[in-house]
Amino acid sequence: MADDSGFDIDDIERRMRGALAALKQEFAGLRTGRASAGMLDPVMVEAYGQSMPISQVGTVGVPEPRMLTVQVWDKGMVSAVEKAIRSSGLGLNPNVDGMLIRLPIPELNEERRTELTKVAAKYTEQGRIAVRNVRRDAMDELKRLEKDSSMSQDDHKSWADKVQKLTDKVISEIDAALAHKEAEIMQV
């Protein structure tokens, strides 16, 4: 909702929600001991002279709770996909069977679970920083509008309070997402 001064709170909220969505996308790639097609989303394959997501060179499937499969479409890409999975840092050991790559999901030990929660916390902090950067941009915009006499001091204070409340709300959602992901990772 842009007011007559030109300040658009909806754009600020959209950008903050984008940071939350990016965090949830990062969380989807973290292993929790169960197979999920989203685990392979961050894996990039060197194919046809460029880097592309694994989903653009094959079909990712979840035939059982502890197994992923990648049905590669081009026979020449099988070794590139296998190499990309091995070097992804996901701790998966691909088994190649023709154009099908099987990925058994090993049990997570306690040390690996703790390591994954630290990675989740790092992603969360990046999300918080992104939200705070959006807030800083909004506050700078408010200051500029007040300085240009496009906005009164009272309007500036009112909008600044709304931006802060929105920031607090999105950061609490980010923290809740982290708590949920940590519980999921630590579940045996």
Whether 152 shows a pLDDT value over 80: the answer reads yes
CATH superfamily of domain region 9-27+109-186: Ribosome-recycling factor (1.10.132.20)
- CA distances to 2, 46, 106, 186 from 154, rounded to whole Å, are 17, 55, 59, 48
pLDDT value of residue 170? 94
User: Residue 164 — very low, low, confident or very high, per pLDDT cuts 50/70/90?
Assistant: very high
pLDDT value of residue 24? 86
Long-range contacts, 76-85 (Cβ 8 Å, 24+): 77/45, 77/47, 80/45, 80/46, 80/47, 81/45, 81/54, 81/57, 83/46, 84/43, 84/44, 84/45, 84/46, 84/54, 85/40, 85/43, 85/54
Tell me: domain 34-104, CATH 3.30.1360.40, correct? yes
pLDDT digit string, tens, across residues 88-145 = 777 788 889 888 999 888 777 788 788 888 888 988 999 999 999 999 999 999 999 9
Half-sphere exposure of 157 (CA within 13 A, CB side): 3
pLDDT value of residue 167? 94
Domain boundary assignment for the chain: 9-27+109-186, 34-104
